[in-house]
Structure 1
Amino acid sequence: MKVYGTEICIDCRNYKAIQKARGFEAEFISITSDTSNLKEFLAMRDREPVFDEIKAKGGIGIPFFVNADGRKTLDINEALSWIGQKPVEADEIHK
């Protein structure tokens, strides 16, 4: 699984903390550390219907999860289910 995000986003930091605590493998792609990563993310954001609602609300759409089989989601629990992980518990989220 690939996860597009940035360290300046609280939801992305929460995702990374969950990944670290649970110890599962996933590739985190920082969209703010390299312009090629940003371009790759923006190309998907421009064409993927999964972003329509979030864009209409003025959101960015991160973290964004892409499964090896091509499925895409903005829902962390859906993404975690792809790799056999349980849903996020309330005590795993930090604001």
Structure 2
Amino acid sequence: MIKLFISSLCPDCPAALDYVKKHGIKVQIIDITSSMKALKFYLKYRDRHPYFKSIKREGKVGVPLFMIDNGRRFYTLEEFSRL
């Protein structure tokens, strides 16, 4: 299962949502701004994983984020669409 971490406040997230809808890709959508539980889960993951080092350095939150069960993650729609 693919998880798509988004924020309802993110200007880049609608494009990711449109992409999965247009291509019929089944994803579990997790809006990190919908609850403290979702936000804490995401921040704990993000703050411990080296993948996000440059993203945090740029002052970005790191959403939208596509995460595949096998641990692969894609911060940009361009990365994900190359699958």
TM range (shorter): 0.7 to 0.9
Structure 1 alignment gaps of length 5 or more: 83-95
- How far off is 1:79 after superposition? 2.5
- How far off is 1:64 after superposition? 1.3
Aligned counterpart, 2:70:
69
- Code of the aligned partner of 2:63: I
Determine the C-alpha separation between the residues in 1 that align with 2:18 and 2:49.
27
Determine the C-alpha separation between the residues in 1 that align with 2:17 and 2:81.
12
Structure 2 alignment gaps of length 5 or more: none
- Code of the aligned partner of 1:49: P
- Code of the aligned partner of 1:63: P
Aligned counterpart, 1:41:
42
- Code of the aligned partner of 2:25: F
Normalised to the residue count of structure 2, the TM-score between the two structures is 0.86
Aligned counterpart, 1:7:
8
Determine the C-alpha separation between the residues in 2 that align with 1:34 and 1:66.
19
CA-to-aligned-CA distance 1:12-35 (integer Å, 9 cap, x gap): 111111122222101110001111
User: For structure 1, which segment, 68-77 or 48-57, has the greater mean C-alpha deviation from structure 2 after superposition?
Assistant: 68-77
Return the structure number with greater relative CO, CA threshold 8 A, min gap 6. 2
- Code of the aligned partner of 2:61: I
Point out 4+ residue stretches in structure 1 off by more than 6 angstroms: none
Greater C-alpha radius of gyration: 1
Normalised to the residue count of structure 1, the TM-score between the two structures is 0.77
- How far off is 1:60 after superposition? 0.8
Tell whether 2:33 aligns with 1:29: no
Q: What's the % identity of the aligned pairs?
A: 33
What secondary structure is seen at the aligned counterpart in 2 of 1:10? Answer: coil
- How far off is 1:6 after superposition? 1.0
